[in-house]
Structure 1
């Protein structure tokens, strides 16, 4: 799927393009309409739950947990450190800069407050991400599967995060369009968007890994055929890791340890990569002793993600999608600490849903009512669990 013949956009005659543009636009509109309907319904359920328990929904959406850290960075820069224990130090340097920079830009250009600006950025990014997910899936499997994929992404158990002042929508937007650029051979766009994704979140380097893997394969293929490698391919590959690397090195320089400073900040938050030992210990604790509902639910979601990745491999998905999703899954599984946040870390891993989207389309064509029941069940779970997470659980997302 990464060869030049398959990366290039399909050629369309001038007369045919106008005839085919309207169905494509209509299909995208349908997908976005379903996405908006799903998220607005989820917001309505959350708002009702919040008001019933004496909370304000917009406050919960805009100023919960990590959102407060991002708002602080947007307003004051990187200045905040909390010393909770000798070996537990929460520094705002753990949070990547792109999202607070966008919030700062919105508050500078508009009369919106920080939390309102954060929600505007997140909601806009979620819509852009849905468009990118649709475009990528439509190229691979057609418009029906693309629509189903967007709907399934909107109905994930943790999809409430797409409506909060969090960074996952921003990362997913850049990731989806970067992967689409790779599949269509637009290497400069792919590298630039990957660099921006790397400035959004710590696991944003998954996008750069996907671009680099696809670029390496394409370079190898061209050299094997004694063909010239274009400057855009080299440049796109070089750009891809710059965003993530630049911030990690900047934090390292600020902390006096160029290569290890950022990872020490994460370690003091209780987050480090230990090849899954911490995750396995916590999973054993859940199985033997139990815990609050959020934790076993997180375990089920992570286990489902592993199964879906196996199905993605079996479907022989394009290399960039496998690398991107595999790195996100590796970070979620291999990192210790904040077990309840692992489903959120996997929210940008939308390619995992491709096998389900294809199965849903087949079911809808053969047994429409069965597909309707499945979607209804997923919607009920998503809306109820989202409201529970934000309003009731009192657990960091």
Structure 2
């Protein structure tokens, strides 16, 4: 990694011809065309998923709004938005579901918007998720352009929208919100905007439990900058951004700890009550052993395949020497949490949905293929689209597994 990858891009000021004035509107539209293309393709992919879900729901007597807006964790978030924290549900011996496990930003936004918009709470949750998905796609595009090129950036966004679990991006879930804050925080780090990076990392930290991956990326990159400069000429903005980054996640964890009478361990006790703990992958290995020797429903083998692909992509991301440090740290922490955590094995691909940098090697390879063999690239995208639509619909409408 070079200093150039971390420093702000130098501004390029276009020189206007005499009498032409500022850049014309057609020129601005041409400059924005790749971004609009990326967002359009992303929106088309996800809206097609919604249409397929709606058709499937109508054919099977299900309600599309319920499937997308009131499934699994969505119900917990909506209850928090309506009534605040305080719900605890015994599930089985040793397992107690407590709503303190859910971070507060998303239900807070649902509550705020629900009071001013003529929408149900589920529809409000989906509106937030859809808006955050587009904001995340724009941030992912900005990073792709920064690191490589516009075609690679467009493909990076499209691939993120065609992941097998991308149906989550149109549901009342928190992954879109986390990814939006993460993408723009990482972009701010890459361009040297440290205060923005820290502020967005703090917001990511109160979006989801694994949101601390963004703060980790900001802190590690800031430490690298300080060490590389030997502590000299370090901007106060860097120190401020680094100080802001972990505040969201640590603030909520400490608040839950105080609520439980154990400031440092209370939140983690809540997670253990859910059957979720960091056990260095022991629980995941037990599931793999079960799959190998006894078999299991379709979702579990598919989860195993997707997690294995994520590990491979992370190795390829590291092997790509041009990959900046913050993207490696961010993706690595998300992968570590997904692999090392016990419980909720089918949810691991969802936990990795915000790890969009893992798709960079695929986007680069697909861009090269598109230049040399456009039809082959189109077939690959079509196959991914078919898998995403079919598997996403199956997960939500038929699998009956926690997402």
**Band the TM-score falls in, shorter-chain normalisation:** over 0.9
- The normalised TM-score by structure 1 is 0.97
Q: Is the 8 A contact 1:332 1:342 kept in 2?
A: yes
State how far apart, in whole Å, the 2-side matches of 1:118 and 1:277 are: 35
**Larger displacement relative to structure 2 (363-372 or 11-20):** 11-20
SS in structure 2 at match of 1:223: coil
The aligned counterpart of 2:308 is 303
Q: Is the 8 A contact 1:321 1:351 kept in 2?
A: yes
State how far apart, in whole Å, the 2-side matches of 1:18 and 1:129 are: 27
**Larger displacement relative to structure 2 (9-18 or 64-73):** 9-18
**Larger displacement relative to structure 2 (324-333 or 45-54):** 45-54
Question: Which of 235, 241, 247 pairs up with 2:246?
Answer: 241
The alignment covers a number of residue pairs equal to 395
Q: Is the 8 A contact 2:5 2:190 kept in 1?
A: no
The aligned counterpart of 1:321 is 327
Q: Is 1:92 the equivalent of 2:121?
A: no
How do residues 252-271 of structure 1 correspond to structure 2 at under 5 angstroms?
252-271=257-276
State how far apart, in whole Å, the 2-side matches of 1:391 and 1:26 are: 36
Q: Is the 8 A contact 1:122 1:169 kept in 2?
A: yes
Per-residue deviation, 1:4? 6.1
The aligned counterpart of 1:229 is 234
Q: Is the 8 A contact 1:2 1:183 kept in 2?
A: no
State how far apart, in whole Å, the 2-side matches of 1:110 and 1:6 are: 41
1:252-290 CA distance string (max 9 Å, x none): 000001111000100010100000000011011111111
State how far apart, in whole Å, the 2-side matches of 1:173 and 1:5 are: 21
- The normalised TM-score by structure 2 is 0.96
The aligned counterpart of 1:293 is 298
The aligned counterpart of 1:275 is 280
State how far apart, in whole Å, the 2-side matches of 1:176 and 1:132 are: 5
Per-residue deviation, 1:112? 1.3
State how far apart, in whole Å, the 1-side matches of 2:295 and 2:81 are: 39
State how far apart, in whole Å, the 2-side matches of 1:194 and 1:27 are: 27
Question: Which of 89, 112, 135 pairs up with 1:82?
Answer: 89
Question: Which of 114, 125, 129 pairs up with 1:122?
Answer: 129
The aligned counterpart of 2:169 is 162
Stretches of structure 2 lacking an aligned partner (at least 5 in a row) = 17-21
The aligned counterpart of 2:390 is 384
Q: Is the 8 A contact 1:4 1:185 kept in 2?
A: no
Q: Is the 8 A contact 1:279 1:336 kept in 2?
A: yes
Q: Is the 8 A contact 1:195 1:243 kept in 2?
A: yes
Per-residue deviation, 1:24? 3.2
Aligned Cα root-mean-square deviation (Å): 1.3
How do residues 132-211 of structure 1 correspond to structure 2 at under 5 angstroms?
132-211=139-218
Whichever structure has more helix as a proportion of its residues is 1
1:98-143 CA distance string (max 9 Å, x none): 0000101110121211101100000000000000000011100010
State how far apart, in whole Å, the 2-side matches of 1:387 and 1:265 are: 31
Stretches of structure 1 lacking an aligned partner (at least 5 in a row) = none
> Runs of 4 or more off by more than 4 Å in structure 1?
none
State how far apart, in whole Å, the 2-side matches of 1:228 and 1:11 are: 21
The aligned counterpart of 2:222 is 215
Q: Is 1:33 the equivalent of 2:10?
A: no
Q: Is the 8 A contact 2:165 2:353 kept in 1?
A: yes
